[in-house]
Structure 1
Amino acid sequence: MSIAQIKSTVEALIRPFLEENQFELVDVEYVKEGKNWFLRVYCDKEGGIDIDDCGRISEYLSNKLDETDPIPDAYFLEVSSPGAERPLKKAQDFTRAVGQHVFITTYEPFDGLKEFEGTLESFDEETLEVQIAKKTHRIPYDKVASARLAIVF
């Protein structure tokens, strides 16, 4: 089973539980680090997720994975919050992040830059507008390589 298939299977297993309990699935990762495989599930909810929530999600998912056994390798299961610098992956993540400080990298330069850190002013599912030092940069959504919320100190 490919990594993409494992991620898709895990998402399908966990989604009903998350929806029933008003949690949001932020991301699923299945990665090899050194000799070990890690299945990481990032979840959130309105007001933030806590360690008890992560424990409930982990227990549910662990039981489902034991029942279906979709992953051939030994792995470590980790369930956690996406953190303060939450990744922005889906269109709804960008919509929710309007008005917040973000860090964005692009596949190619726009306005001479490939990295943008500033306020996400708008997002219309085709273009992001990021304001940096009183200048607004328009970035095509399909040219975003990575994006996350950014903490301002």
Structure 2
Amino acid sequence: MANASHGGNTAATVWNLCEPVAAELHLDLWDVRFLKEGASWYLRIFIDKEGGVSLDDCEAFSRAIDPVLDEADPIAQSYCLEVSSPGIERELTRPAHFEACMGETVYLRLIRPLEGRREFKGTLTGFEGGVIELTDEQGGVLRFSQKDTALCRLVDDYFGG
């Protein structure tokens, strides 16, 4: 049995196992999360592709990754495997996410308030060295350290939201 710890190390190990499987199925690996919710552990794998993923894509990936995970056995405890799309309002967590979403509208929430505010919305105009750059509706440029953010996700403006 592999000696994997919870959270980040497990997610990184699973990411390495998933990446070639996703590529083989012409999918992009968006994120891997290993989380405890209540008494249960969840391994959530988010896949993507140009034009979006279908239920069939999720099922095909799940079937393909299941034997790989069984053989590698990177997780000691029992868990529930969930494979899904990151969604329209996907969370941005990795440098590649920020690079892929340049020019898009994002919502950002800070861990601690900055000048009385924790929530910001703007156009993603930069990401370098762990610093997220947004341009707000007034044209002001705002910079936030990624380590100070609780959440950064795309905003679906389809209905003006």
Q: TM-score, normalised by structure 2?
A: 0.82
CA distance in 1, matches of 2:23, 2:64: 13
Q: Who is 2:59 aligned against?
A: 55
Report SS of the residue matched to 1:52.
helix
2:98, 2:127 within 8 Å by CA — same for their partners in 1? no
Q: Who is 1:148 aligned against?
A: 153
CA distance in 2, matches of 1:68, 1:96: 31
2:126, 2:134 within 8 Å by CA — same for their partners in 1? no
**Which of 9, 15, 27 is 1:5 aligned to?**
9
Offset of 1:130 from its aligned partner?
2.1
CA distance in 2, matches of 1:85, 1:110: 24
Report SS of the residue matched to 2:134.
strand
Offset of 1:17 from its aligned partner?
1.3
CA distance in 1, matches of 2:139, 2:117: 13
CA distance in 2, matches of 1:30, 1:94: 21
Offset of 1:108 from its aligned partner?
4.8
Q: CA RMSD in A?
A: 2.0
Residues 100-109 or 34-43, more deviating? 100-109
Q: Does 1:114 align with 2:121?
A: no
Q: Deviations over 1:86-113 (max 9, x none)?
A: 0111222112222211101234555653
Q: Does 1:19 align with 2:23?
A: yes
CA distance in 1, matches of 2:94, 2:57: 23
Structure 2 counterpart of 1:18, one-letter code: A
Structure 1 segments unaligned to the other structure (5+ residues): none
The 3 A distance-change label for structure 1 pair 138 and 144 is same
Report SS of the residue matched to 2:128.
coil
Give % identity. 37
Residues 57-66 or 134-143, more deviating? 134-143
Residues 39-48 or 96-105, more deviating? 96-105
How many aligned residue pairs are there?
152
Q: Does 1:101 align with 2:116?
A: no
CA distance in 2, matches of 1:129, 1:8: 26
**Which of 15, 29, 32 is 2:33 aligned to?**
29
Structure 2 counterpart of 1:70, one-letter code: P
1:26, 1:82 within 8 Å by CA — same for their partners in 2? yes
Structure 2 segments unaligned to the other structure (5+ residues): none
CA distance in 1, matches of 2:140, 2:113: 15
**Which of 75, 83, 94 is 2:79 aligned to?**
75
Report SS of the residue matched to 1:70.
coil
